[in-house]
Structure formats: C-alpha cells, structure tokens
C-alpha cells in the first residue's frame, strides 16, 4: 500500500494518490491531471477511482479530465447530483482497491454531500481518513457553502456537529488524518500549518472535537468570526457540479504569444484585462498602463478569485520569461479559463514597440515613518479585518483588499494615499487597482506592516473586551 499527499501550497490544497496491488485511486485531484497519470504509469498501475470528498468551492477539480483519460469511475458521496456521469455512493459502502478497502462515511455539514473516506489496510485495520473539508487539523470546514440549499448555515453546522460525533470521533486515536486543506485556505478559520495529523491529537486539541461540547456551543463557535466566502467559491462549486472545458483546451487557447499590437487590440476591442503576474518590484518599476498586478510569487489564484468577478473575463498576461503556462494553469485551477495569450518578449517588447509604460512609487518603512512626522498622510491599511484590529497605525484607514470594490466610495481620487499590507504583496495589488481606476497619487510602503513595526510610528493595539 502506498499513500502520497500531493500538496499545492498556493491553494493550501492536498490531493491524494493511493496505490495497492496494481490499482490506484486519486482523491480530490487538481485541474491539471498529468501528474497523477504519469505517477500511475511509472508504477505500472491503473487508476480505478477518482474519489471526491465534496463539490469543492475553492478550486476546480480535475475529476472529469482524469476520468476521461483513464476510464476511472468518479465517486461522490450520498446526495451528490451532477450533470455528468458519476457514481453516488451509499453511506458505509466499501470499495476495493487492490488489497485494501475504502469505506464511505457520509459526513454532511460543510456541504450536504460531504464525505470522509476511511482506508482499511491489507489486514482490514482502519488506517486513515481522507476527511476533505469535514475535519481539518485544528479546525473544521465552514458550513455556509451549500449549493442552492434551503438550509441555513446554522442547520449545516448542526449537521457537521452530528457527523463529527457519530462518524469521526468514534474512530481509533491512531487513525491518520489526511485533510483537503492546511493553513491559508478560506475553507476554514484557523487551520494548522501541518497537513497530516493523528486523530487522537485532534480529539485533544481541536476545539470542534471537545467531548463536552453541546450542539448549541458548537454551532456558535464554528460560525463565530467566519468571514463571507470569496465571491468565486459558489462559481467554482457549480463548475465542479455541472462540468467545464478540458484543461488541454484552456491551455491551448491561452498559451499564445501576442505582439504588443495584438495585446493592445484585445485590451481595447475585447475588453481584456491586462494581468501582470511578475515580481512586484518589476511591476512597481514599470508596467503597462491600466494593468493589474497579482504576482505568481504570492497567493495568486485565491486573489484572482477574490478580485476578478467574472470567470469569463478575457485576460491577457504579462509574465516572467517562461511562466505563461504556469500562469494559465493556476488561473484555470480557480475557473478562469478565458486567457487569450501573453505578451511575447514582455515589457521590453512593449517598450521597443514605442508604447508607454508607467510606474508606482514605493518607499521604505523608514522613509514612510519620516513622512508621517512631517505631514498628515492618508494611510490605507489593506489587510484583513482581523489583522487590522489586532494592531494598526494610528489614524490609518482600513481598506481591506478583499472588499475593495465595496469600499471604493471611501477613497478620493484627488487625494494622495500611502498603502501598506502585512508584507508588501497585497499593497501592490491594491495600488495597481487604484491606479487603474484613476488614483494617480498612490505610494506603496515596501515590506508592509512587518517593516513598519520596526520603526517608531505610533501603533494602536487591540484590547480584548474580556480584559476591560
């Protein structure tokens, strides 16, 4: 028996390759499936099943392409209904894979069809669970993502409480836990940085598994502080339910080298968004006017999903040399399949064609501190609400990047703004969006709040109400 976690850090997502005696199964595969196919081929085994723990909201799964390429059966848990052929398993149904077995544990709550898969080894011993978004390390899945359900998030939270206590907690303490996500995922609140754990440890440390917790307490705690889901979540979940274009088609359409003339024409005539995915320093130094920055070196796909509202938005790319396929792949993982090409030769080619570039000023935290002493600055803190509440610059205006569209009426294009986040990635995104919308007096603070804390700029600190 072989179990391999294939973890994708930029999505904080774990897919799983399971193999036994000539047969393999994939759990929660990513959109691009060649990795799984190559792995099975190298080991001389056949992919028999593609198990899905639920209709994922934070990424588009590769189940359709993988099944088409290998003949594998797509398996969902009870209550799953799709527009394509798949097998909806029954609760407690057992699937044979080589010399091992995989048992279906229906665990609704995160979503109605959410399922945990219990693996029993060659000797019939219960060995591991693949818990999807039902159980994370340190947390559980958010119960507000059901597709077109009449149930409230409170209803689903109650179901999740029951699922954990009737299906998960009775299992042995030495069971290995393989969750679908780790820290950084928006599918939960406080996920651990660890990506593999032991059930007994979770029973001791995970707030949601407290033995003395009532259902009412669980519902309150699991919903407390939960932020609204990113706007792309519902759209991705629907794609996973009804189907999508093949990854090969998306890559073939998008990985096209464009001349500056062609890129400009697509931007003007097709309303294509010019998305610059280079290093933030390169973008600040010079970029195409009205282009938006979301760098590949950060949480690229989740921020694309949060900020670009239309999955069918035409996109043309400015990429580092040799990174066009990576950018298109990562866009497709969250359902953005309408990439139309990338700028061949990059910014150098753009400038060589006689076209203008523009820039955004970026200053050090030390220079920023000096400016705050000598003038009354307009400061935008684009971090999340929790980060801002914990500690922030006195008189800084909270302008969360997550909700930039909703809060545009709170800023004035005639004013100058200094923008910071935690480390410098989000502030450049925010500055690029503001500049593209006519805010020409924006300055980025390099290094973000991490650098600002090392200066003598006055900060406010959150005081917990219980200590007052």
Fold of 361-467: Oxidized Rhodanese; domain 1 (3.40.250)
Q: How many CB atoms within 10 Å of residue 357?
A: 13
Query: What letter would DSSP give residue 466?
Result: G
- Measured CA to CA, the distance from residue 175 to residue 27 in angstroms comes to 18
Q: How far apart are the first and last CA of the chain?
A: 56
Q: What is the pLDDT of residue 465?
A: 41
Residues 337 and 252: their CA atoms lie apart, in Å, by 11
Q: How far is CA 123 from the centre of its chain?
A: 37
CB distance 143 to 120 below 8 Å: no
Hey, do 245-352 and 361-467 end up sharing a CATH topology, with the first three levels equal?
yes
Extended beta strands in 193-305, E state: 197-198, 257-258, 273-276, 292-293
What element of type H or E holds 4?
A: strand 2-8
Indicate the helix (H) or strand (E) that contains 103. Answer: strand 100-106
Task: Give the pLDDT of the chain (468 residues) as one tens digit per residue.
Answer: 999 999 999 899 999 999 999 999 999 999 999 999 999 999 999 999 999 999 999 999 999 999 999 999 999 999 999 999 999 999 999 999 999 999 999 999 999 999 999 999 999 999 999 999 999 999 999 999 877 678 899 999 999 999 999 999 999 999 999 999 999 888 888 899 999 999 999 999 999 999 999 999 999 999 998 888 999 999 999 999 999 999 999 999 999 999 999 999 999 999 999 999 999 999 999 999 999 999 999 999 999 999 999 999 999 999 999 999 999 999 999 999 999 999 999 999 999 999 999 999 999 999 999 999 988 999 999 999 989 999 999 999 999 999 999 999 999 999 999 999 999 999 999 999 999 999 999 999 999 999 999 999 999 976 544 333
Dihedral over Cα of 158, 163, 169, 174: its sign: negative
Cα 237 to its chain centre, rounded Å, is 13
Q: pLDDT at position 467, please?
A: 35
Judge whether 450 and 420 are in contact, CB under 8 Å: no
Q: Are 426 and 382 in contact (CB under 8 A)?
A: yes
The closest alpha carbon to 318, from 343, 282, 291, 352, belongs to 343
- Helix ranges (DSSP H) in 48-136: 63-70
Q: If residue 75 lies in a helix (H) or strand (E), which one and from where to where?
A: strand 73-76
Instruction: With CA atoms as reference, report the closest residue to 111 among 238, 301, 255, 249.
Output: 238
Structure tokens that stand for 105 in this block = 């544990």
Nearest CA to 107 out of 179, 173, 189, 26 is that of: 179
> What number of other Cβ atoms are within 10 A of residue 233's Cβ?
22
Cβ neighbours of residue 467 closer than 8 Å, sequence gap 6 or more? none
Q: Which residues pair with 118 in a beta bridge?
A: 103, 129
Distances (CA, A) of 196 to 14, 57, 414: 10, 21, 51
Which residues lie closer than 8 Å to 302 by C-beta, 6 or more apart? 10, 11, 58, 186, 230, 334
Give the start-to-end residue ranges of the domains of the chain: 2-235, 245-352, 361-467
pLDDT of amino acid 146: 76
CATH of 2-235, one of 3.30.70.1430, 3.30.1510.10, 3.60.15.10, 1.10.3720.10: 3.60.15.10
CATH topology of domain 245-352: Oxidized Rhodanese; domain 1 (3.40.250)
H-helix segments, 408-447: 425-436
What residues contact 290, with CB distance under 8 A and at least 6 apart? 267, 274, 436
Length of the chain as a residue count: 468
Q: CA geometry: angle at 62 spanning 56 and 65, to 5°?
A: 145
HEC-encoded secondary structure of 170-225: CCCCCCEEEECECCCCCCCCCCCCCCCEEHHHHHHHCHHHCCCCCHHHHHHHHHCC
């Amino acid at each position: 028996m072989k179990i391999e976690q294939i973890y994708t850090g930029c999505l904080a997502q774990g897919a799983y390759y399971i193999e036994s005696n000539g047969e393999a199964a994939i759990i929660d595969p990513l959109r691009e499936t060649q990795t799984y196919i190559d792995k099975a081929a190298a080991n001389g085994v056949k992919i028999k099943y593609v198990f899905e723990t639920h209709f994922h909201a934070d990424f588009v799964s590769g189940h359709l392409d993988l099944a088409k390429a290998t003949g594998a059966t797509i398996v969902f848990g009870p209550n799953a209904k799709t527009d394509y052929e798949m097998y909806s398993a029954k609760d407690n149904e057992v699937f044979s894979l080589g010399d091992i077995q995989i048992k279906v544990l229906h665990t609704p709550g995160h979503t109605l069809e959410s399922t945990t898969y219990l693996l029993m080894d060659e000797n019939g011993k219960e060995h591991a669970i693949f818990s999807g978004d039902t159980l994370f390390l340190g947390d559980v899945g958010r119960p507000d993502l059901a597709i077109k359900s009449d149930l409230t998030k409170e209803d689903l939270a109650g179901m999740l409480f029951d699922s954990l206590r009737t299906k998960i907690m009775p299992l042995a303490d030495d069971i290995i836990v393989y969750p679908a996500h780790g820290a950084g995922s928006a599918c939960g609140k406080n996920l651990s940085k660890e990506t593999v754990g032991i059930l007994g440890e979770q029973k001791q440390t995970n707030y949601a598994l407290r033995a003395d917790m009532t259902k009412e307490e669980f519902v309150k705690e699991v919903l407390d502080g939960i932020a609204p889901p990113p706007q792309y979540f519902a759209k991705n979940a629907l794609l996973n339910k009804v189907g999508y274009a093949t990854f090969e088609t998306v890559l073939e359409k998008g990985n096209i080298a464009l001349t500056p003339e062609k890129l400009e024409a697509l931007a003007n005539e097709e309303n294509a968004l010019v998305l610059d995915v280079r290093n933030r320093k390169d973008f600040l130094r010079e970029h195409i006017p009205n282009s938006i920055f979301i760098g590949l070196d950060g949480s690229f796909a989740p921020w694309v999903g949060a900020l670009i509202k239309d999955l069918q938005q035409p996109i043309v790319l400015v990429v580092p040399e040799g990174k066009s396929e990576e950018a298109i792949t990562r866009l497709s993982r969250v359902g953005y399949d309408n990439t139309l090409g990338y700028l061949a030769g990059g910014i150098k080619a753009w400038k060589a064609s006689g076209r203008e570039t523009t820039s955004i000023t970026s200053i050090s935290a030390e220079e920023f501190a000096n400016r705050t002493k000598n003038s009354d600055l307009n400061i935008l803190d684009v971090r999340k609400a929790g980060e801002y509440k914990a500690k922030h610059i006195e008189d800084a205006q909270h302008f969360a990047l997550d909700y930039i569209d909703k809060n545009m009426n709170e800023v004035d294009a005639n004013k100058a703004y200094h923008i910071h986040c935690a480390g410098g990635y989000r502030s450049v995104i925010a500055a690029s969006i503001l500049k593209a919308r006519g805010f020409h007096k924006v300055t980025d603070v390099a290094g973000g709040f991490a650098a600002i804390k090392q200066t003598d700029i006055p900060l406010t600190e959150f005081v917990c109400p219980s200590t007052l």
